[in-house]
Amino acid sequence: MDTSSLRLGRRALLASGGALAAVGASLPARARVGTRARIVILGAGAAGLAAAARLSQRLEGAEITLVDSRREHLYQPGFTLVAAGLRRPDYVVGRTADYIPPGVRWIEERAAVIDPDARRVTTASGQLVHYDFLIVATGLELDYAAIEGMDVSRIGRDGLGSVYAGPEAAAATWRAMSEFADRGGVALFGRPSTEMKCAGAPIKYAFLTDDTLRRRGNRGRAELVYNSHNRVLFSVPIVSEKVRMLFRDRAIRVNHEHELAAIDLGAKIATYRTPTGLVPMKYDFINVVPPMRAPEVVRRSPLAWQSGPFAADGWVEVDRATLRHRRYREVFALGDVAGVPKGKTAASVKWQVPVAVDHLVADIAGTTSAEAYNGYTSCPLITRVGRAMLVEFDYDDNLVPSFPGVIAPLEELWVTWMMKEVGLKPTYLAMLRGLA
Amino acid sequence: MKDFDIGTLVAVLRELLGPWLWVSLGVAAVAAVAFLYVVVRDRGVVPSRLVWSEVVAIGGGVAAVLITQRVTHSGFSDLGGPIDWVLLAALFIAGAIGTLIAAYAAFGLMCGGSRRRTVHAATPRADGYAPLARQASPRL
């Protein structure tokens, strides 16, 4: 986003007395807490930037430091639109610097070592950064190497797609999918058995491929197969059942307990790990979703879960309601890297950040916070270009619609598509600034 | 939507439209002020001018719907439930009302101050006969 336009917007907002009065009247009157606390935030993605913005708004005099080497900020919810041929790659690319709040220090390096006992972080260049509070928001790592034969550089060629690998890879995936939609053949979709960001994305892409084929009059020439890693299609049972019915309606075949283990890019053969052994499948197009795990700096730190389902991939051991570390009270984890169920979407970040920030500020103020994160997340589950379902749920698999009685969560609606294509990105950007 | 208020709405609209938010609000404000000026100047609404503005407003409503669909890569076949029809109607109405106000103001300004006479009670004559109110036919 153009910063000059933002500044213009701010000036104009200040100049418009009526709008300002309306805004001022709506914001909760909350005094800023004075402190000299050193707060370090690892990661300048959605969670890190939103946390920095919220902390800047709540604290006076705190020393807030962001540690991240990435100068580009990626709007990841937009990857699907790029991979559907609806947006150019630059639609999802912004500048990290544009979203760093005034007064927040940015160290343009990656964190190399986290030492929570000494309360310090070592950067890649060896710089020591001491903290009183630490927020871990490093995101996650795409583990393409775990798929034998996978080569990220070949995405876009020979029917190989992978929406997650970045803006250019998403665009290359669209090219591969589009070529497939012209020719027909067999297309494979699926997801890994690890925790993953936006678990609805692989399902969306199966629907989008089906839709593209139909629009080109080639659906009859194609066979679509969704390989689920377990016995369901979605972690929320009622949504899983709805997707099952939609897949049946669209003639998308489903295999359960199939996880991609290897791929032969030349021969176009994907090999799946199943309860009965390895199963090879020939394909003409495949959307590869890699296993995902915590970044190495987190996996190798004492912050990772020591046991349980989140231990294997190194997710941070936090309390699911407060996002506070279970062994290091001054540490919080937000976003993808947090070891909580159902917490790897931008919507999760939007709900997690105010909770963790409130607990951190309460610590500084010497009070307590009653804020709790209930696992809320949402997924505009695209079922074709022009329609989507607004699926919102919590830790307990309850559907928690934002507009009950108005927008049905399991209904394919145009209004939901409008939210996805028009409303989601500005809401996301406002979240980065701590305003949504 | 947790904590969704007018401040959030303004923040989201700023991100969506950037400087165009203020341009849009400015255009809307100018149109509204011009509309009020014309109505006050003419001491009421000129019916024939209103009818022509309504004709133009239909086009504005249709344009609002079609532009939205084009921007969102969607079409009428994507309407899936009652809320979709409500949204479609809201878009049409919003586009139509905006266009109506702007068109009426534009017509009124183009007609200048020659359209002073409008719908008002006629003055009774000495014989007690009250003629029908005369109204001007606007030149559009």
Q: ipTM of this predicted complex?
A: 0.85
Q: CB contact, 8 Å: A6 with chain B?
A: yes
Give residue-wise pLDDT tens across range A373-382. Answer: 999 999 999 9
H/E run at residue A204: helix A201-215
pLDDT of residue B2: 59
Q: What is the mean pLDDT of residues A325-335?
A: 98
- Name which of A383, A400, A418, A419 to mutate to probe chain B: the one with the most chain B Cβ atoms within 10 A of its Cβ: A418
At A381, list the tokens. Answer: 């589950």
Average pLDDT over residues A167-174: 98
Q: Is-contact A228 A190, C-beta < 8 A?
A: yes
Task: Name the β-bridge partners of A272.
Answer: A260, A279
Distance CA A284, CA A287 (A): 11
- Over 50: is that where the pLDDT of A138 sits? yes
The closest CB to that of B19, out of A8, A413, A417, belongs to A8
Q: Which of B2, B12, B17 to mutate to test the interface with A (most CBs of A within 10 A)?
A: B12
Strand partners, A392: A378
**Choice between A53 and B121, residue whose per-residue pLDDT is larger:** A53
Least CB–CB distance from B7: residue in A26, A408, A414: A26
A 25-44 → B contacts, CB under 8 A? 25-27
Q: Tell me if A414 and B87 make a contact (CB, 8 A cut-off).
A: yes
HSE, side-chain direction, 13 A CA sphere, residue A240: 13
Q: Is A377 helix (H, G, I), strand (E, B) or coil?
A: strand
Record the tokens describing residue A352, joined without a space. 């997690």
The 10s digit of each residue's pLDDT in A385-428 is 999 999 999 999 999 999 999 999 999 999 999 999 999 999 99
Neighbour-count burial of B48, counting CB atoms closer than 10 A to its CB (0-12 exposed, 13-18 middle, 19+ buried): middle
Distance of CA A166 to the CA centre of its chain: 12
Closest CA of chain A from B56, distance in Å: 26
Mean pLDDT rounded to a whole number for chain A:
93
- Whether residue B56 is predicted with pLDDT greater than 50 in this model: the reply is yes
Separation in Å, CA of A123 to nearest CA in chain B? 33
CB-based burial label for A56 (10 Å; 0-12, 13-18, 19+):
buried
- H/E run at residue A282: strand A277-282
Rounded-to-10 torsion of CA A120, A126, A127, A130: 10
Q: Which two tokens stand for residue B7?
A: 């401040």
**What DSSP line would sit under A104-143, residue for residue?**
-EEE-S-EEEEETTTTEEEETT--EEE-SEEEE----EE-
Encoded tokens for B74? 């969607």
What integer is the mean pLDDT of A291-296? 98
SS3 (DSSP) at A407: coil
Whole-structure pTM value: 0.89
pLDDT tens, residue by residue, A203-259: 999 999 999 999 999 999 999 999 999 999 999 999 999 999 999 999 999 999 999
pLDDT at A177 over 70: yes
